[in-house]
Structure 1
Amino acid sequence: MIIKARHFARLSGIAVITVLLAGCASRSSSLAEKEINTTPAAYAKLIDGIHTIPEVDTSGIDAAMLRQRVDYPTDEPAGTIVVNTAARHLYLVEGDGKAMRYGIGVGKEGLAFAGAATIKRKAEWPHWRPTQNMMDREPARYRHLASGLAGGLGNPLGPRALYLYQGDRDTMFRIHGTTEPETIGNAVSSGCIRLINQDIVDLYSRVKIGSRVVVVQGGRALSS
């Protein structure tokens, strides 16, 4: 009887441990699924030097605006950036009919340029100053910033900027980050082509000085 009692106690203990472990596994699995659904790894908090780029809540952003590899047949060579302002998408051509696609927000400056250009400058945590047009259009908002802002989390260019040139002429057209990720997929009052900060960091790491950029406005690009 003593042996049977000990055996029963041992089996009961194993059963309790099994239930507890099952409960932990269930809670961990549910938490993991929630984290995956609400905070894609691509938009998690990103430590970037002395700055920490905050996690982006993507629940209010159209899924089509999030970074993804897509089918993209084109005659443009791998490494080319194609900006389609009407579709609110930027494509980095990878070749073999594929491209990395990023959602973009478009400002008035971003709608003022079409054609081909070259990336001649890249900057991390760039300095920013409003253009004359921005100060003239919204003086109360921008005039006091005429001397510009140093790079940082409150800088409208975000953590990275790509500067487009035609020959030696700066087009004043930029591809950059944003302080307002919720505007991705929309037309906004100011700025050029803005990406979610995690996306511009990713794009910046993939492109080189000298990369070709083609900007399409209203369905067609103007050659340069």
Structure 2
Amino acid sequence: MRRLKGIHAVIAAAALAMGGCVVQDKTDDQAAAGGTTVTQQQPPAGQPAATPAPTPAPTPALPPPDLRLEVNVAERELYVYRNDQRIATHPVAVGTSEWPTQTGEWTIGQVVFNPRWTPPKEEEWAKDEEVKEPGAPDNPLGHAQLVYDAPRSIHGTNEPESLGKAESHGSIRIANSVAVQLSRMVMEAGGASRDEAFFEGVRSNRKERVEVAIPNPIPIRVVSGGSGDSGGGGSGEKGKSGETSKSGSGN
């Protein structure tokens, strides 16, 4: 019997060695409780140790877009710059003296084709207005909308005769064809390019609202007045983008 117990002890010791475990001596507390501690050993000799997963590299920051927009409220014009070179000028309608267009600096982070107009019911002038669905002839947002500080935006219009005048409720109106053209430019410069089939789709189905997020938002600056060609750092007020104002929430 003693011989059999000895054989069993040898077999048990061999099994523990092959399994990579070792039985440690009991501590005083463990001895009192009658317990045994089993700890995991390093991999057996000849086997490589597990290597930790590599830390993923941080996503590189996007380069500044080469496109930017500027609106001069006094001149009632919108300027398109590429690499600080003015490449286009478009007439706009801006807010009245009662509903002035807000000045400041923002970025355009969304383009909406065939937008839906929801009247701001908190505004007195809009209390009796109704929602205008995409494609509706009387939709004041027209064919496209460039959102920079919702609800503030540059958008098309169903009143092209207002361009060059101060007739909006604070928003910036442009011709429908220009709104679509600018939307496409913003998408391309902001990392959201689409193929020609996409633009044909939004043109052919005016009743379908289509949102496009701009991964690399496009800078826009709205100045109060002065020389039309501010060169990106001259005339007008700035820094009002954090103010609370009733301007820009209309059409």
Deviation, structure 1 residue 189: 4.4
Deviation digits for residues 121-141 of structure 1 (CA, Å, limit 9, x no counterpart) = 11000011122354x0354xx
Corresponding residue SS for 1:207: helix
Structure 1 residue 187 corresponds to structure 2 residue 166: yes
Output the amino acid matched with 1:213.
Answer: I
Residue in structure 1 matching 2:221, options 211, 214, 224: 214
Per the alignment, residue 150 of structure 1 pairs with: 133
Q: Cα gap change, 1:107/1:91 in structure 2, threshold over 3 Å: closer, same or farther?
A: same
Distance 1:173 1:99 in 2: 24
Q: Report the number of matched residues.
A: 138
Gaps of 5+ in 1: 1-75
Deviation, structure 1 residue 115: 0.9
Output the amino acid matched with 1:173.
Answer: R
Distance 1:161 1:132 in 2: 20
Per the alignment, residue 114 of structure 2 pairs with: 125
The structure whose residues are more often helix, as a share, is 1
CA contact (8 A) 1:214 1:221 kept: no
Per the alignment, residue 184 of structure 2 pairs with: 205
Q: Report runs of 4+ in structure 1 exceeding 4 Å deviation.
A: none
Deviation digits for residues 64-87 of structure 1 (CA, Å, limit 9, x no counterpart) = xxxxxxxxxxxx973111011110
Residue in structure 2 matching 1:78, options 41, 62, 66: 66
CA contact (8 A) 2:65 2:218 kept: no
Percent of pairs identical after alignment? Answer: 33
CA RMSD of aligned residues (A): 2.4
Deviation, structure 1 residue 120: 1.6
Output the amino acid matched with 2:237.
Answer: A
Distance 1:176 1:107 in 2: 13
Deviation, structure 1 residue 190: 2.6
CA contact (8 A) 2:77 2:92 kept: yes
CA contact (8 A) 1:161 1:174 kept: yes
Q: Cα gap change, 1:190/1:197 in structure 2, threshold over 3 Å: closer, same or farther?
A: same
Distance 1:181 1:144 in 2: 20
CA contact (8 A) 1:106 1:194 kept: yes
Distance 1:151 1:118 in 2: 24
Output the amino acid matched with 1:123.
Answer: V
Distance 2:129 2:173 in 1: 23
Deviation digits for residues 106-126 of structure 1 (CA, Å, limit 9, x no counterpart) = 124973411111112110000
CA contact (8 A) 1:115 1:221 kept: yes
Corresponding residue SS for 1:221: coil
- For 1:171-186, list aligned pairs within 5 A: 172-186=151-165
Q: Cα gap change, 1:77/1:123 in structure 2, threshold over 3 Å: closer, same or farther?
A: closer
In the superposition, the TM-score normalised over structure 2's length comes to 0.50
Q: Higher Cα Rg: structure 1 or 2? A: 2
